[in-house]
Amino acid sequence: MNILVVLRMIPDSAGELQLAEDGRSIDREWLDFQLNDFDDHALEEAILLKEAGGAKVTAVAVGEGANRVLQMAAARGADEVVALQCEEDAMISSREIAASIAAMARAKSADLVLCGVQSSEDVFGQLAPYVGALLDWPHVSGANRIVANGAVLRVTQERGAGVAVTYELAAPAVLGVQTASKAPRYVSGSKLREASKTPIGRATPEPSGLERAADIITLRLPVQGGSGENLGGNAETVADRLVSILAAKGMARN
């Protein structure tokens, strides 16, 4: 089985986000980038599938710091690693890159494309369904367990309120991973050093084929940023306020 796993680099979730001067993007210059957590799980699931039944895993990374993450992927067991070129200093829109991923899936004769179910920059839509639709392959998002039996896949999906649904589908397919069957493994510093010699392939992007979804007019920070609103010390008024705050979010009941 050939597995293609997509690794997207996104702004560090611990970092403070600041708006760029045009107000339409975030200032990426001072940001640390990290692997999208869900993609990390997708990579782990790919390696677990390889360990369980044999597979060739190709990891493709997009964004700043892609090389570092690809070395990590190689240390974890990816057989081939490719960096997909992208526009510098721009957010990674899954809608934009879907065509490139689909093309690569064909080029690598992938049977399975794995990626994280979401990323923090996918406002214009999620990668797995885009790629699935472009290839006309079945896709399932929110996977938290994948078992391959030949070309037949059993995928368990996490739905709200703890409901879990298991599906069966045949490869080729695209899966959006929520959590890997096992937590992503740790790679030691010495393994990373070894893997730093792995050759990294390059791929140039395909034109997206889809129109731009929309224009971002402005970005803003939510009002209740870090430190929040003080509701005061009177239990009665606090309770009144809380009831209305909760009700507005549909949470004033069970």
Partner 1 sequence: MKLIACTEGHSSKIEAFSLEMIAAARSLSQAGDKVVAFFAGRDAQAASASFGVADQLIAACAATSDLIPAETYARLLRDVIAVESPSLVLVPYSANGLDVAADIAARTGWPLISYVNEIKRDGESLTVVAQMYGGKILAECAVGLPAILMINPGAFPEATPGPIDTARVRMIDAEPALTSGKVKMVAIEVPDYADVDLTTAERIVCVGRGIGDEASIDLARNLATMLGAEIAGSRPVVDNGWLPKLRQVGKSGQKVKPKLYLALGVSGAPEHLEGMSHADLIIAVNTDPKAPIFNVAHYGATCDLFDLVANLSDRLRAGSGR
Partner 2 sequence: MASTLPLWILVITALALTAWRSRRYAAALANAPAAARFNRPMLRLQGVMVAIGMHRKMLRKPLSGVLHAIIFISFFVLFTATIDAFGSRLFPGFSLAPVGGETWIAALQDVFSVLMLTGVGLALYQRYVLRPARFDGSSGSDAAIIYVLIVLIVASLLLEAAARIAGGTDGSWRPVASVLAGLLDRAGMSAHAGEELFYWVHVGAILAFLVYIPGSKHRHMFLAAPNIYFRNLEPRGLVPAVPEAREVPGIDSLGQFDWKQQLDLLSCTECGRCQAVCPAYAAGLPLSPKLLITDMRDALAAGPSAAPLVGGVISEETLWACTTCRACMEVCPVEIEHLPKIIDMRRHLVDEGLVSPGLQEALSNLTRLGNSMGKPSKMRSRWTKELGFPVKDAREQPVDVLWFVGDYASYDPRVQEITRRVAELLTAAGVDFGILFDAERNSGNDVRRAGEEGLFETLAQSNIDEINACRFNRIMTTDPHSLNALKNDYRHFGAAFEVLHYTALLAELITAGKLDLHVADGARVTYHDPCYLGRYNGGFDAPRALIRAAGYTLHDMPRCRENSFCCGAGGGRIWQGDDGVTERPSENRIREALSLGDVAYFVVACPKDKVMYTAAIDALGVAETLKVVDIAELLVPRTSRAIEMPTVET
Footprint on this chain of partner 2 (rule: CB under 8 A) = 12, 14-16, 30, 32, 34, 183, 185-193
Tell me the C-alpha distance between 190 and 3, whole Å: 26
Identified binder of partner 1 from the candidate list 57, 176, 180, 195, rule CB under 8 A = 176
Q: Which residues contact 116 (CB under 8 A, 6 or more apart)?
A: 6, 8, 36, 37, 38, 39, 40, 41, 42, 127, 176, 177, 178
Residue closer to partner 1 (CB basis): 71 or 157? 157
To the nearest 10°, the Cα dihedral for 243, 249, 253, 254? -140
Joined tokens for residue 151 = 């070309």
Nearer to partner 1, 38 or 77 (CB): 38
What is the closest distance, in whole angstroms, from the C-beta atom of residue 76 to partner 2 in the complex? 8
Q: State yes or no: residue 65 binds partner 1 (CB under 8 A).
A: no
Could you tell me whether strands 2-11 and 80-84 are parallel, antiparallel, or unpaired per DSSP bridges? unpaired
205 binds, among partner 1, partner 2, none (CB under 5 to 8 A by kind): none
- Report the Cα–Cα distance between both ends of the chain, in Å, rounded: 45
List the one residue from 74, 98, 104, 105 that touches partner 1 (CB under 8 A): 98
- Minimum distance from CB of 184 to partner 2 (Å)? 8
**Contact status: 157 vs partner 1 (CB under 8 A):** yes
**Which partner from the list partner 1, partner 2, none does 191 bind, CB cut-off 5 to 8 Å by kind?**
partner 2
